[in-house]
Amino acid sequence: MIRKSTAAAALAAAALAVVAAPASADSLFGSSGGSSSGSAGLLDAGSSALGSSSKEPEHYGTLGRPDAPNGLKSINVWVYAPKATPISDGVYPKNSQLGVRWNSTIAAGNVIDGNECQMAIRLTGPKVPAKAAVTKTEDCTSAKLYTLRTPGAYTISVTDGISGASNSIQFSVQ
C-alpha cells in the first residue's frame, strides 16, 4: 500500500512539473483558433494534437480524396493577425495586416510540413485587388498576410489542388 502511495505521489509531482514548465499550450500544440491565434508559431500541430475522446483524429472542412498522392486529408485554418488587436471576436481594425495560417494533415492526424501540395489561397471581400484575389503555393503548411484597408466581411479559403481538401475562415474589418 505504501509503494502505491509513493508511486502515485511521484506521478502527481511529475504532472505538476510538466504543467509548471514555461512553454504555453499554444507553443506546444498550436492554437485551436480564435482571434489571438496569430501569436503562436506557424507550424502548429492543429486540432489533431489536442486529442479527443473518440481516439480518432478530427478533420475539418472539405476532406481530401482518399487516393490523393500527397496523402492530404484535411486543412486546418486560423485567422493570422500577428500585430493586429481585435476589436471584438472576429473583428479587426482597417489597415491591419490580416490573413490566414494553415496546416495540412494526413488521415492519422500528422501534419504535412513539406511542399507536396498545390495550395490556392483565395481572398474575397470588398475591393480585393486582382493580384491579391488568388495566391498559389506548394507549401502544405504556411501563412499568407494581406493589408486590408476597406471595411467589410472577408473570407479566405485554402484549397489543395491535388487532394481537393479545403477549408476557410471569415472575419470582418471595421
Confidence of residue 7 (pLDDT cuts 50, 70, 90): very low
pLDDT of residue 163: 98
Q: Average pLDDT, whole number, for the chain?
A: 79
- Find how far residue 126's CA is from the centre of its chain: 24
**142 strand-pairing partners:** 102
Reported as a single tens digit per residue, the pLDDT across 64-92 is 999 999 999 999 999 999 999 999 999 99
pTM of the model: 0.69
- Hey, how many other C-beta atoms are within 10 angstroms of the C-beta on 134? 14
Arithmetic mean of pLDDT, 136-161? 97
Q: What is the pLDDT of residues 23-36, one digit of tens each?
A: 333 333 333 333 33
Distance of alpha carbon 80 from alpha carbon 70, whole angstroms: 25
Q: Which of 38, 21, 20 is nearest to 30 (CA)?
A: 38
Q: What is the pLDDT of residues 88-137, one digit of tens each?
A: 999 999 999 999 999 999 999 999 999 999 999 999 999 998 999 999 99
Domain ranges of the chain: 26-173
Domain 26-173: CATH superfamily is Macroglobulin (MG2) domain (2.60.40.1930)
- Ranges of beta strands (E only) in 37-141 are 74-80, 91-92, 96-105, 111-112, 119-124, 134-137
Q: What is the pLDDT of residue 54?
A: 58
